[in-house]
Amino acid sequence: MKTEVILTHNIVGLGAESDHVKVAAGYARNYLFPQGFAIPLTGANKRRIEALRQRRAEREAHEFNTMSELSKGMSKLTCLVKVKTGEDGKMFGAVTAGTIADELKHQFEISLDKKKIHLEHPIRTLGDYEVELRLHQDVTTTLKVKVESSTPLPPPPAPTETRGRDSRPGRGDRTVVREADGPQKTEKRGKRPEAKAAEADEKPAKAEKAEKPAKPEKAQKPS
């Protein structure tokens, strides 16, 4: 059984102040009337309609001004959302309107109904996004949302170096040091043991050549 009532407060999904609506008799009797959200539609109550309309206009004007100011501030904000990711950078789960509403409350102390945060689909990849906010039927704005990983990145691999002998002619005994992603360096090394032994054998031969035969003594003249 339905009954017609006059709303005295704005009720989402039902109506606003001064609206005539039909509701279930039990709903009106057990909820709307005790809470003061509605009054029965009678001749005496109809006289209150004009006052209710005035209250409605004032409320809507206040909401419009409040949401307009909020939209100006929120358009300059960046909401940071930290998510867990795997080693490949893929997210676990997704960022939803409820997630963004929670972060707005936590980071900026802004209480916003998640129904005002319009996402075509949940965010499932890291990056920067612009999310539409429908704050009022006449007020919309965008919010910058940055989704970052909270999982620590693995440390980069340590640089490795390889040593090898420079085989180019005329370079002698040198060792080329190659560092990963760095310039080549050349180090001088001592001579090989075989070269030192051969050099030691040549020294006596050179010494013998250097010796000259002794000159003969001059004969003494007879006195």
Q: Are strands 139-149 and 127-136 parallel, antiparallel or unpaired?
A: antiparallel
Per DSSP, the three-state class of 63 is helix
pTM: 0.58
Q: For residue 125, give the DSSP letter.
A: S
Output 200 or 117, whichever has higher pLDDT.
117
Which pLDDT value is given to residue 33? 94
Residue type for position 43:
G
Supply the pLDDT for residue 80.
Answer: 96
**Of the candidates 153, 104, 101, 157, the residue with the CA atom closest to the CA atom of residue 126:** 153
Every domain of the chain and the residues it spans: 2-47, 72-149, 162-189
The pLDDT of residue 177 is above 90: no
Mean pLDDT across the chain, nearest whole number?
Answer: 80
pLDDT at 89: 82
Judge whether 2-47 and 72-149 match in fold: no
- Provide the percentage of residues in the chain whose pLDDT is more than 90: 58
- Which amino acid does the sequence have at 143? L
pLDDT for 186:
47
Per the model's pLDDT, the better-predicted residue between 180 and 86 turns out to be: 86
CATH architecture for segment(s) 72-149: Roll (3.10)
Separation CA 194–CA 90 (nearest Å): 61
pLDDT band at residue 223 under the 50/70/90 scheme: very low
122-152 residue pLDDT tens: 999 999 999 999 999 899 999 999 999 988 7
Instruction: Return the structure tokens found at 116.
Output: 């005002």
- Give the tokens for residue 48: 């209150």
Q: What would the pLDDT profile of 41-66 be if each residue is shown by its tens digit?
A: 988 888 889 999 999 999 999 999 99
pLDDT, tens digit (0-9, with 9 covering 90-100), for 92-101: 999 999 999 9
2-47 fold: Ribosomal Protein L9; domain 1 (3.40.5)
